[in-house]
Amino acid sequence: MRNNPFPENVHKVAVIAPAGREGQESIISGCRILNDFGIETVIMPHVFAGSSEGYLAAEINARLADLLQCWCEPDVDLVLCSRGGFGSAHLLPHIDWPLLQSRRLPLVGYSDITALHMAMYSRQCGPLIAAPMCARLKDLAHDDYTLYHYARALRESSVPEILMRPDGTQNLHVLKPGTVTAPLFAVNLSVAVTLCGTPYMPDLTGHVLMVEDVSEPVYRLDRYLTQLSQCGVLSKLAGLMFGTFRDCGLPEEREVVFRRVASEVDGPVVAGFPFGHTFPFVSIRQGRRITINPDGTVRY
Written as one string, the DSSP assignment of 198-242 is STT----TTPEEEEEEES--HHHHHHHHHHHHHTT-GGG-SEEEE
Q: Are 27 and 15 in contact (CB under 8 A)?
A: yes
* Beta-carbon count within 10 A of 228 CB: 23
Q: Which residues of the chain have pLDDT under 50?
A: none
For the chain, the C-alpha Rg in angstroms (whole number) is 18
**Which spans in the chain are helix H?**
24-36, 60-72, 88-91, 97-101, 114-122, 144-154, 189-192, 218-230, 251-262
**Where along the chain do the CATH 3.50.30.60 domains lie?**
173-299
pLDDT at 158: 86
Cβ burial of 279 (10 Å; 0-12, 13-18, 19+) is middle
| Per-residue exposure over 170-191, b if at least 16 CB sit within 10 Å of its own CB, e if not | eebebbbebebebbbbbbbbbb
Rounded to whole angstroms, the Cα distance separating 225 from 61 reads 32
Q: Which fold is adopted by the domain 12-154?
A: Rossmann fold (3.40.50)
- pTM, entire model: 0.97
Q: Which CATH superfamily is domain 173-299 in?
A: LD-carboxypeptidase A C-terminal domain-like (3.50.30.60)
Bridge partner residues of 48 (DSSP): none
pLDDT given at position 141: 82
What pLDDT is stored for residue 45 in this prediction? 98
Instruction: List pLDDT tens digits, range 234-273.
Output: 999 999 999 999 999 999 999 999 999 999 999 999 999 9
Nearest to 285 by CA among 90, 102, 104, 66: 104
Integer Cα distance of 3 and 5 in angstroms: 6
* Distance from C-alpha of 288 to C-alpha of 273, rounded to nearest angstrom: 16
Sign of the torsion angle spanned by Cα atoms 110, 84, 202, 236 = positive
Provide CB contacts within 8 A for 53, sequence distance 6+. none
Please give the DSSP secondary-structure letter assigned to residue 128: E
- Within the chain, all domains assigned CATH 3.40.50.10740 are found at 12-154
| DSSP bridge partners of 12 | 40
